[in-house]
Chain A
Amino acid sequence: MVAVLRRLPAFEGRSRFTTWAYKFAILQAGVAVRGQAWRNREVPLPDTLTFVDPSPSPAATSEAAHLARAVQNAIATQLTPYQRRVVLALLVEEVPIDVLAERLGSSRNALYKALHDARQRLRHALVDDGHLAAGSERSST
């Protein structure tokens, strides 16, 4: 409530007031829940990984394995050490971005930018090697 009242002058009426207010409540609740869940957990920061493909069929395994190995190689060779640790922490270890930001003394924005830049490097490398078609892997929600 205090957080919403403090931001009241910023409400511009471009959405329902309740939606705008709920947004801050969800943010605060989410930060609290994720922070509590990770309070006593060590945040893993690996810089290497291996691939395990659970696909059942040989063809699917082969195709998926080729791409995964290519991604693994790109992670090892195309990213800066910082980008590699951010990518592996966020996407492989599934550390929430705000938890990782707090542990690294960074910010959600900075980590997402690093993740974005890393993904672009991985995609360019995979497109160059023919493992990914240009313009592929856009997820729709």
Chain B
Amino acid sequence: MNDNTNTLSSGTVATLVVDTEPYLSCDDCFERLDQFVDARVADPSHTDLEMTTHLAGCGVCAEEASALEELVRIHAAHGS
């Protein structure tokens, strides 16, 4: 048994108990990511409960979504 202990901050508590229903897998999130980002760039009020829920619960997918959205916005700003 591992004897290591780790601190649990109140911020981490929030990530531990965040509701990730409805469930969406990382693969399905990636599959839908381009459509989701294009929709958000075109309309900032665009919502997709499954996508936003997954991104709230998966740090790496959220990083990738953020990077893609930034790249798409830069691309759009340069008129390409």
Contacts and interface: CB of A to CB of B under 8 A. Distances in A.
A71 B76 CA distance: 44
Main secondary structure on chain A at its contact with chain B?
helix
Contacts of B13: 64, 67-68, 71
B14 A141 contact: no
Contacts of A94: 59
Contacts, number: 155
A77 interface: no
Interface residues of A, number: 59
Interface string A25-43: 0110010001000000000
Interface in B36-58: 37-38, 52-53, 55-58
Interface string A67-108: 110011001000000000001101111101110000000001
Given A48-B5, A55-B10, A119-B16, A141 B62 contact: yes
A51 B8 CA distance: 4
Given A26-B67, A71-B13, A119-B16, A96 B8 contact: no
B19 A135 contact: yes
A30 B5 contact: no
Given A46-B6, A47-B2, A90-B59, 4 more contacts: A16-B72, A19-B34, A22-B34, A23-B34
Interface of B: 1-10, 12-21, 23, 25-27, 30, 33-35, 37-38, 52-53, 55-60, 62-64, 67-68, 71-72, 75, 80
8 contacts: A15-B34, A34-B60, A71-B13, A92-B12, A108-B27, A120-B21, A132-B17, A138-B19
